[in-house]
A and B are shown apart, each in its own frame.
Chain A
Amino acid sequence: SQQGEEDPQALSIQEGENATMNCSYKTSINNLQWYRQNSGRGLVHLILIRSNEREKHSGRLRVTLDTSKKSSSLLITASRAADTASYFCAPRGSGNTGKLIFGQGTTLQVKP
């Protein structure tokens, strides 16, 4: 199945530092999406990067995509305590039904 695997599973940093999370996947994709989840409830879409893009920015977020390595990374710069959450990647294959498959996620803790 088209599931992303996030790494590391857990990350703890100080406020103001940068946080980097990685995602690996197995098959070819149409796009890859990153989501954030606070307190185990609804997920919030952060950013989408298409297979023909290599890098994308949104505010303090920077996403890269390397289709040759089947990997993506999410960088959060100048982290804040409010960034504490779980982060999930969701690769979307070119031939699937449209469903999003999530991995275990990366749990980020930003200490004030």
Chain B
Amino acid sequence: GAGVSQTPSNKVTEKGKYVELRCDPISGHTALYWYRQSLGQGPEFLIYFQGTGAADDSGLPNDRFFAVRPEGSVSTLKIQRTERGDSAVYLCASSPGQGRITEAFFGQGTRLTVV
């Protein structure tokens, strides 16, 4: 596609449920990032993929959060046993390669609400 696509755009779930958030990066982009953003805050880094592997997952808050990118393109962020504190906008971004000079392209985010 023309840009980074995230689905769904909005997700409401009950506390304790499992959710999956999907990110379709720009075709050919090898780097993919997940961020979480609460109201009034900057985006908080969660995990960064280079190809299929997680190059840096230091931002995942706990073991309820997991992300995969099995074929090096689409990525899924998985949250188990959701809590109300997980409510936030989850942003995905991609960039062309490992080069540190490149910019990142962001999707419009998934707004997750845990009730």
The answer to whether A binds B is yes
B96-110 to A contact mask, C-beta < 8 Å, 1/0? 001111011111110
**A80 contacts the other chain (CB 8 A):** no
Please name all residues of chain A whose beta carbon is closer than 8 Å to the beta carbon of B93 when the two chains form the complex. 43, 100
State how many angstroms separate the Cβ of A13 from the closest Cβ of chain B.
20
Interface size, chain A (Cβ < 8 Å): 25
Which B residues are in CB contact (< 8 Å) with A48?
A: 101, 103
Contact B39 A99, beta carbon cutoff 8 Å? no
State in angstroms the CA–CA spacing of A90 and B35 once bound together: 14
Tell me which of B31, B43, B99 has the highest count of chain A C-beta atoms within 10 A of its own C-beta. B43
Query: Please, how many angstroms separate the alpha-carbon atoms of A112 and B20 in the complex?
Result: 41
Please count how many residues in chain B sit with their CB below 8 Å of the partner chain's CB atoms: 30
Most chain B Cβ neighbours within 10 Å, of A43, A88, A104: A43
A30 B43 Cβ-Cβ under 8 A: no
* Cβ 8 A contact of B43, one of A31, A94, A102: A102
Chain A facing B: main interface SS: loop
A-contact bits for B29-65, CB 8 A (1 contact / 0 none):
0010101010101111100101000011000000000
A43→B101 contact, CB < 8 A:
no
B89 within 8 A of A: yes
Ranked nearest first, the 7 interchain pairs of A and B with the lowest CB-CB distance are: A42-B106, A45-B103, A102-B42, A97-B56, A99-B48, A43-B106, A42-B108
Give residues in B with beta carbon < 8 Å to A. Answer: 4, 31, 33, 35, 37, 39, 41-45, 48, 50, 55-56, 89, 91, 93, 95, 98-101, 103-109
Residues in A lying within 8 Å of B, measured CB to CB: 30-31, 33, 35, 40-45, 48, 50, 88, 92, 94, 96-105
